Each structure stands twice: as structure tokens, then as C-alpha cells.
Structure 1
Amino acid sequence: MNSKIKKFAKNVSYTFLANFLSIIVSTVLILIVPGFIGADDYGYWQLYIFYTSYISYMSLGLTDGAYLRYGGCEYNELNKPVFVSQYWFLVTFDIVVNFSIALFYGSISTDTSKTIVVFLTCLTGILVVPRSLLTFMLQATNRIKEFSIIIILERIIYFILVIIFLLSGIRQFEYLIYADVIGKFFSVLYSFFVCKELVFGKFAPMKISMREIWLNISVGSRLLFANFANILIIGIVRFGIENNWGIETFGKVSLTLSISNMLMLFINALAVILFPALRRTSEQNLPAIYKMMRIIIIIPLLGLLIFYYPAKVILSAWLPQYAESLTYMALLFPMCLYESKMLLLINTYLKTLRKEKLMLVINLITVGISVVLTFISVFILNSLNLTILLIIFLLAFRSVIAELCLTKVFKIQVKKDIILEIIMTVFFIFVSWYLNIRVALIAYSIAYVVYLISKKNDIVYLLRNIKKFLNSK
């Protein structure tokens, strides 16, 4: 077998283990925690998770720039003193910024629970933003094993502490957040061990350090803003839900989003491996790899939508107090299709081709649409159903536009495939929302079989090429 394929498979095994554990932890917490704590406490816990998805962007683009510039390099090739300077710059910057945010919010807030959430979010920011420089460089230099252990350590400690708290009768949301902060703290300590050359040692001369920091920020800022705009697409909708319908509804919708997003943990793991691998690949081979990766992603994901039906039955029985909100899974479950394609395929290729500006423009356009449509659905129409449906519309819109732009560069025709995927998505949402669960399952299963028959040639093409790669030396 090709040595590159062996190394790729080895990295997949490490990230699979890390993300399999993350999926197990997330699944158990998603299923267990709502059964133990009240709806308000669950809502505040989800609000913390929501806020932490934004606080991690306080790197100014420095970590993103380093990731883009050094992707595909070897770890021993890195200029260690330069990274020591950058790491402690991030530590200092994030202490100042997060302390200022906490101080300001504490002076104006009248909601004690939200104040606690914001304070702990700021503490998390001080831990995870500097750590991201280390984890990004582990990914960029293909040290996937060490990166995976950092994730495993964080999730296991978090999981164990949450279970201990729940079994001890502790139901307050603050302790769930403490568990997450402690898990992150110990993962930071381990990251010091595996990246000690990037944390401890002599600083590079001031002039060189500042030049490197500025260069990474200037390169990474567009990717940072593109990623920030990416989470704003759904974030604006969620802000609207929390503002108009309250923390309890926000928590219930967040539960549905969490269930729909569980698969993204594994997809993200593959994206971590794929980027440095593509950076080492000849540009002329990228279109062929894209076609194969697209088939590998889309066909199974459309099939996975079938699992919505048993999942809804099981979850409704286990969490009867959330049964009403679980109906929104019919609207949100297909988001894994468009988010997976965007994260694993489109974004990875755009970063490989250094098209961060295009990513930014597409995401900003989608954010603009999100603002307008959220305002209409929340504050004018006051429709929760329409607001939730808006999430899948925005993700599909962004994915389609981005893929059309990318495949134009490669001169690949995917319009028919995109139309087929939209038809399957709309059909799934329609039958799942309007028909009883048994009839909907039969209807979508038949539609998926018809889809597989229509994609017979693509499946044959994929199997032939996989065989060819495995036999290459």
C-alpha cells in the first residue's frame, strides 16, 4: 500500500478515536443532562456553549495565519522562538480583553445567571485561544496523535466530572460549566508538554516577533473573519430565538441543534487530516480527489437521514419534556449534509487554494441574508417554525454558492448533483414534518433507493479509483 495512504490511515485512526470519544461524550451528555436538570439550567448551559463558540475567535487571526502559512511543514522546521513570542502575546492579549469584557458586563448586567455564564466564558477564552496556536500547529505539521490526545483528555475529564456532579445530586448549570473549564485547563497543561518548544524558551527578537505576528494576522484575518461570519449565520438566528422566546425555548432548540450536529465532530476530524494532505498534493490532482471525496461524503450522509426516524422515537420517549422541540429535528437534521460538505470539502479546498477572501465574501453575503430574514421571521412574523427552517435554508444557500464558485475553478460540473441533493432535502423535510413517522420513513427510504440507482455510475467510478489508490506503490 502507498506509504502516504498508510500515514493518512494512521492519522484517521487517531482522530477517529478522539472524535469517537467526543461523539460518545456529547451523545451521553445530550441524552442524560436534560433528564436531570431543569429547562432553565439547561438553557444557561447551552448559552455558555454558544458563547464559547465566539470567544475562541479572539486570536486576531494569528493562529489561522500560522495554520495557513505552515500547513504541510514538518514540526522540526518551525522557528521555535518566534512561536514562543506569539504564544505569550496571545496569553497577554486575551487576559486583557476577557477581563475587560467580564468587568464591563458585570457592571451593566441585572441577570445573575447570565453574568456567571459570561464570566466563565471569558475564563475559557483565556485558556483556549492561546492553546489554539499549539493545536493548529500540531494539525498543520501532521502531529495528529498529539492533537488527538489533547482533545481526548479534555472530553474525558469533562465527561467524568459532569457524571460525578449529576450522581452527587448537583443540578446547577454552573457545575456543568466548571467541568468544561477544568477539562480545558488540564488539556492546556498537556499541550505545554507536547509543544514545550513553542511555549517555553527564549523569545525571538522584538522586531522579528512583531513582524511574524503581523504577518500571521494579516494572512489569517480573512480566514478568521470568514469563520466568524460562518458561525454568525446560525448565531444570529439563535440570538433572535433567545431574545424573542426566552432561555427555555433557546435551550430546547439548542438540544435539537446539538443532536443534528453530533456527526460534525467526526467530519471535523477528517477535515483536520485532509488539509495538510492536500497542501502536499499536486494541484493537477485536486479536481479528481474532489470528485471522489464528494461522492464519499454525500451518498452516505443522505442515507444517514433515515436514522432521524428511530432517533426521534427514542429521544421523545427518553425526554418527554422536550418532545415538542424534537419535532424541529425534521427541519434541522439535513443541516449535517450541508455543514459536512462545507467543512470537509469546500472549506478545506478553499484554504488549500488560499481562497480565504472568497470564503469571507460568501459568508458575509449569507450573514447579511441571515440578518434580514431573521428580523422578518422573529420580529415581524413572530414564527418560531419559520425561524428554525431559516437555519437549513441559510446553510444550503451558502454551501451551493461556495461549491459553484469552487467547481468553476476546477471546471467540474456539479449542478445536477446539487439539484438532486436539494430535492432529497426538501422531500425529507416535507415527509418528516407532515406525515406520521412510519409513512415518512418508508417514503424517504424509497426516495433514497431511487437516488442510489441514479448515482450508480458515480459509485462504480469511486470504487474503481479507490482500488487504484490502494494498489499504487
Structure 2
Amino acid sequence: MKKLNSKVAGAITNLSYTFVANIICTLISMAIVAVVPKALGTVEYGYWQLYGFYGSYIGFFHLGWADGIYLRYGGKEYKELDKKLFHSQFWLLFAFEMLVAVGVAIFAVFFVEDSSKKVIFYMLALCCILQLPRGMLQYVLQGTNRIKEYAKNVLAEKLIYGVSVVVMVSLGVRDFRFLLLADLAAKLITLVTICWRCRDIVISKAMNFAASVQEAWENITVGVKLMFANVASMLIIGIVRFAIERVWSVEVFGQVSLTLSISNMLMLFISAVSVVMFPLLKRTPQEKWADNYIFLRTTLVVPMLAILMAYYPAKVILSAWLPQYAESLSYMALMFPMCMYEGKMSMIISTYLKALRRENLMLAVNLISVCLSLLTTGIIVYSLKNLPLAVVSILGLLAFRSILAEVFLARILEIEVGTDILLEVAMTIIFIWSSWIVRGWAGVGIYLGAYVVYLLLKRKDIAGTFRIVKETFRPSATAE
């Protein structure tokens, strides 16, 4: 039997695990988006979204510890790892997160007045203990190319949480606190299962305490830049969302967050690829990185621009299903293109910068974008109090960050992407104009026509991509 190149076959196998897992995760997310806002009402849903919003920043509380492990040991085989060293790192991190959790709970007691928000902070304190040590082990599995185990753990959390939420809502639960408990239960179960999966790390002999602390310090000093880059990345949108909650209300925050959740569903598929990309790229000769970048870029952007057309039926269906959110769902027209820019950043640009160990560059780009976010939020939200403009600023900020990072990366790889960037900006503007201003079938026709023109302009790159795929999947002459 003829077979593919072993590296390609391994990448396809790993991708298949994450792809299937992310398809299921997407379906679960769709079910949650369809059921929860309709059942809870706008205020309770707003608090539920607020928990998710604050929870997205929990990664800040490992100080880059797990990021450093990922960067330093990513690309190695799992069997090559020093299990005593990783055992010490896991339990030191666990003890540290216990202290962090106590700090978060004390903060809630003395500084949070809203009783619902107080509950959210208590839940977040528990989340630190359950999520961050598990995250370290997930990084170990991901970095050592044990993608199957990683994908199973991620999928298990989504399944447990999604099924629990749907069951509770079906039984008449309308209190967001019970949904938060379901989230914590899912995190606890998957923490226990991943500990068992990595039991040769979790249950092992410990290193000398001083050596363990020294190793932790090295991981933190390496990973802190990436951590700050990641936190700064989230702050770009987070600053705008936080200001919306402050200037308007938790209810409006929930409505805007719903449209963000729908737009971000497409990112789950991209995450499936980005998980596999880092260890694969680290094992690829660096002289091939530039050509691979052009191939990956075309493979991602061309379909993403087509997928934007899903906005039109999605808007009609969701407005009929969630009439109380019908007005806010129109903001999807302003947010959908963010998937393309976030997709490029997550799957390709960030992966390349990590592999090149350019954490400083990632941090600088994200900090510049955060400063711009602060400036635009101050003007648009606090001075003008213009909600649609605040929403479109989210897209503008993410596009700015993606473009700036890609320009720097293109210089490092010595490739030309300026024309492609301009074409994508033009397609983004046409999509917003056709869906937000023109609307209806006329809007669909305008964007479809623009996309056909785009395909004609990119026909050489698309043909080249198909040629590479065909050559990659051509069976070798070696018999199995």
C-alpha cells in the first residue's frame, strides 16, 4: 500500500483529532448560544457573559509560567521530558494558584458591592485553582505533539459543560449561578482526567526545592513576555467591552457579547489548526517557513472571506429565534470580519512569532494596540457615547494589530504581503457597507460580486495552493 510522507500523515492525524473536537465544540457552542440567552433573559445573561469575560483574564495569574514551559519545551517528545522537573513545576503552580484564589476572594469581600458580581469573583477564585494547573498540562501535551490527548481533554470540558447547561435550562433553571457551577464542575472533572493522563508527571518524585524554584523562575522569565502579549491581546477588545458595561449596563454588555460569541464561533475551527501548527513548525526546516507562510495565508483567508456570507442567513435565523436581541444582532455585520483578522493572528502570525522566539515583538504590537484601544474607547464610548461606533472600533483595532504584526513578520521572512493586506481591507469595507448600510439581497449581491473579483485577482496564488496540496497528498512510491 502506498503511503504519504510520515510528517504529513502525522500532521493530518493530529489535525483530524482537533478538527473533530472543534466541530463538536462548535455545535455545543451553537446550542448554548441558541438556548441560554433565550432562557435567562437579558440581565441574567449579562452576568453570565460577565463571568466569561472576567474569566478570560485568569491566565494572567500564572505569570507566564505555563507559557514559558510551552516555549522552552515545545517540539520535544513527551518521553524526553524530565518527569521530576515537571512534577515540581505542576505542584508549585498549584500551590501558587491556591494563594491567588484566596487573594481574589478577599478582594471580592472588601471591594465588590454588587452581590451578583461578588458571586462571580468567588467562582473565578475557584477557577484559578482548577483551570491554570490543568492549562499547564494541556500545554505540555500540545507542545509535545500529543494532540489526541489534548483534544480529548478540551472536548470533555465542552461536552460536560454544554450538556449540563442544556439540561439545567430544560429543567427550568433560570439563575446564572447554576450555570457557573456547571462550568466549575467541567473544569474539575477535566483537571482530574488530565492529571491521570499525565500521572507520570503529577505522581512522581520531586526535585530539590531550590532547583524547582530556579526552574520556575526561568519559565516565568521566558513566558512572561508571551503572557503579557496574550493579556494585552485580550485587552484590545476587553477595554471596549469593559467600558460598554460601565457606560451602558450589564444588559447592553450581554447583548454585545452575544454578537461577539456568534462571530467567534468561526475561531474554533481555526484553533483546531493553530494547536497543531506550533510543534509542526518547530520541526520544519526554517528555510521553508516563508513559502509555507504564503501557502497557509492563502489557505486561510480565501475561505474566510467566503464564510462571511454566512452572516446573511445567520442574521435572519437568529433574529427570529431571539427577538429580544434582534437589534443587537445587527452588530454582527460590524464584527464578522474580525474572524479573518483574528484567524490570521492566531493560526499563522502568532505561531510564527512564537517559533521565531519574537515574544518582544508580539508584546510591542499588542501594547501599541492596547494604547490605541484606550484612546479610541475614551473618545467613542465616554465622550461620544456611540455604541455602533464602539462595536466597529473592535474590528478596527483587531485589524490594525493583525496588519501591524504581519508587516513586521513579512520583513523577517522577507516576503511581500502589502497587496494582499490592501485587498483584504477593501473586502472588509465592502462587506460592512453591503451588510450594514445596503442590507438585504442587494447587499448579498454586492459582496458576492466583490468576492468573485477578489478570486480573479488571487487566481495565481489559489492555483499555486492547489498545486502544493496535490503534490503533498500524492502517494509516495514506498510500500507500507
> Structures share a fold, TM > 0.5?
yes
| Structure-2 residue corresponding to 1:332 | 335
Q: Output the CA distance in 1 between the equivalents of 2:254 and 2:217.
A: 40
Q: Take 2:142 and 2:16, find their aligned partners in 1: how far apart are those partners?
A: 15
Amino acid at match of 2:430: F
How many equivalent residue pairs?
Answer: 473
Q: Contact 1:61 / 1:217 at 8 angstroms: preserved in 2?
A: yes
2:392 pairs, out of 386, 389, 407, with 389
SS of match in other structure, 2:473: helix
Task: Name the stretch that deviates more: 199-208 or 124-133.
Answer: 199-208
Q: Give the drift of 1:472.
A: 6.8
Deviations, residues 141-174 of structure 1 (Å, cap 9, x unaligned) = 0001111111111111111111121111111001
Please state if 1:276 is matched with 2:279: yes
TM-score of the two chains, using structure 2 as the length reference: 0.97
Query: Which residue in 1 is equivalent to 2:380?
Result: 377
| 1:401-412 equivalence runs, <5 A | 401-412=404-415
Aligned to 1:359: 362
Question: For residue 139 of structure 1, what is the aligned residue in structure 2?
Answer: 142
Give the superposition deviation at 1:377: 0.6
Aligned mates of 1:31, 1:437 — CA distance in 2: 23
Q: Which residue of 1 aligns with 2:168?
A: 165
Q: Which residue of 1 aligns with 2:97?
A: 94
The corresponding residue for 2:35 is 32
Residue 471 of structure 1 deviates from its aligned partner by 2.6
Residue identity matched to 1:430: W
Q: Please tell me whether residue 259 in structure 1 is matched to residue 262 in structure 2.
A: yes
Matched with 2:299 is 296
Tell whether the 8 Å contact from 1:55 to 1:122 is kept in structure 2 after alignment.
no
Q: Distance in 1 between matches of 2:165 and 2:433?
A: 38
Residue of structure 1 in register with 2:452 after alignment? 449
Whether 2:20 is the aligned partner of 1:17: answer yes
Could you tell me which runs of 5 or more consecutive residues in structure 2 were left unpaired when the two chains were aligned. none
Cα offset, 1:436, TM superposition: 2.6
Of 109, 114, 123, the residue aligned with 1:106 is 109
1:314 counterpart residue number? 317
Take 2:207 and 2:440, find their aligned partners in 1: how far apart are those partners? 63
Equivalent residues in 2 for 1:140-155 (5 A)? 140-155=143-158
Letter in 2 for 1:81: K
Question: What TM-score, normalized by structure 1, do the two folds share?
Answer: 0.99
* 2:211 alignment partner in structure 1: 208
Q: Give the partner amino acid of 1:244.
A: V
Q: Which residue matches 1:247? A: 250
The 2-side partners of 1:221 and 1:98 are apart by: 20
Q: 2:130 aligns with which of 127, 130, 155?
A: 127
Structure 2: distance between partners of 1:203 and 1:465: 48
Pairing 1:71–2:68 present: no
Letter in 2 for 1:252: Q
Q: Is the 8 A contact 1:2 1:471 kept in 2?
A: no
Supply the distance in 2 between the matched residues of 1:272 and 1:47 (Cα, whole angstroms). 27
- Cα distance in 1 for partners of 2:299, 2:35 equals 32
Distance in 1 of aligned mates of 2:325 and 2:225 = 39
Q: Are 2:44 and 1:2 aligned?
A: no
Q: Please give the alpha-carbon distance, in whole angstroms, between the structure 1 residues aligned to 2:341 and 2:241.
A: 18
Is the Cα contact below 8 Å between 2:225 and 2:359 reproduced in 1?
yes
1:400 to 393, 398, 403: 403
- Residue 51 (structure 1) aligned to one of 50, 54, 76: 54
Deviation, 1:331, is 0.4
With 201-210 and 35-44 compared, the bigger mean Cα shift is at 201-210
List per-residue Cα deviations over 1:337-383 (Å, max 9, x = no partner). Answer: 00000000100000011111000000000000100110111111111
Task: Read off the aligned partner of 1:175 and give its amino acid letter.
Answer: F
CA distance in 2, matches of 1:349, 1:128: 26
Distance, in Å, in 2 between the alignment partners of 1:7 and 1:24 is 26
Distance 2:430 2:444 in 1: 11
Residue 468 of structure 2, aligned match among 439, 452, 465: 465
Report the AA paired with residue 157 of structure 2: E
In the TM superposition, what whole-angstrom CA distance separates every residue of 1:316-344 from its partner, at most 9, and x where no partner exists? 00000000000100100100000000000
- Amino acid of the structure 1 residue aligned with 2:267: M
Are the counterparts in 1 of residues 160 and 186 from structure 2 also a CA contact under 8 Å? Answer: yes
Q: Over aligned residue pairs, what C-alpha RMSD do you find? A: 0.9
Q: Distance in 2 between matches of 1:21 and 1:470?
A: 26
Which amino acid counterpart does residue 132 of structure 1 have in structure 2?
G
User: How far apart are the structure 2 equivalents of 1:147 and 1:437?
Assistant: 43
1:235 has 2:238 as partner: yes
Give 1:232 shift. 0.4
- The alpha carbon displacement at 1:197 in A equals 1.4
Unaligned runs of 5+ in 1: none
Equivalent residue in structure 2 for 1:197, among 197, 200, 207: 200
The answer to whether the 8 A contact 2:365-2:405 is kept is yes
